[in-house]
Amino acid sequence: MKTKKVQLEDREVEVRRFLATQIEEFFAEDEGKSDKEKQAFSLVADVVVGGFKGTRKFLTLCTDLSEGEITKLDMEEYSLLVEAMKELNPNFFAQYRSTLTAMGRALEKIGE
């Protein structure tokens, strides 16, 4: 499995590629939600993935850090880990963003 070591101020963190099962479990949180809730998720998901909360969840999938540890990182350290995560998982992030963009456009047309 491809990994990348990122040196933080006080330790070294290994970032690794996502496993397919981790991604399935992450998105399984949608199961059981109403269509309205799923649409709301779709509209904000692109922002969340780029935002701190969503990114923290993704970082817990590909590092050994907890969400609590991630929240204590300074922005430079946080950015290094996010950069490594996106570098090691480019297909996932490209596919996810393009899918959400298309969904957003479709929902805009529905609302017209």
Greater pLDDT, 107 or 4: 4
* pLDDT for position 63: 95
- Is 25 inside any structural domain? no
- Is 28 inside any structural domain? no
* pLDDT for position 47: 44
* pLDDT for position 8: 93
- Is 57 inside any structural domain? yes
- Is 20 inside any structural domain? no
R_g of the chain computed on alpha carbons: 16
Among the listed residues 66, 65, 71, 84, the one whose alpha carbon sits nearest the alpha carbon of residue 11: 65
* pLDDT for position 72: 85
Greater pLDDT, 97 or 6: 6
- Is 53 inside any structural domain? yes
Q: What is the mean pLDDT of residues 81-108?
A: 80
- Residue-wise pLDDT for 20-62, tens only, equals 567 667 666 666 666 665 655 554 554 445 566 778 888 998 9
Residue 107's domain comprises 3-15+35-111
Total domains in the fold of the chain: 1
Report how far residue 23's alpha carbon sits from residue 11's, in angstroms, rounded to the nearest whole number: 27
Phi/psi for 17 (5° steps) reads -65, 150
- Is 23 inside any structural domain? no
- Residue-wise pLDDT for 60-82, tens only, equals 989 999 988 988 888 888 889 98
- The DSSP 8-state label assigned to residue 30 in this structure reads T
Inter-CA distances, 111 with 48, 100, 104, 106, Å: 22, 16, 11, 9
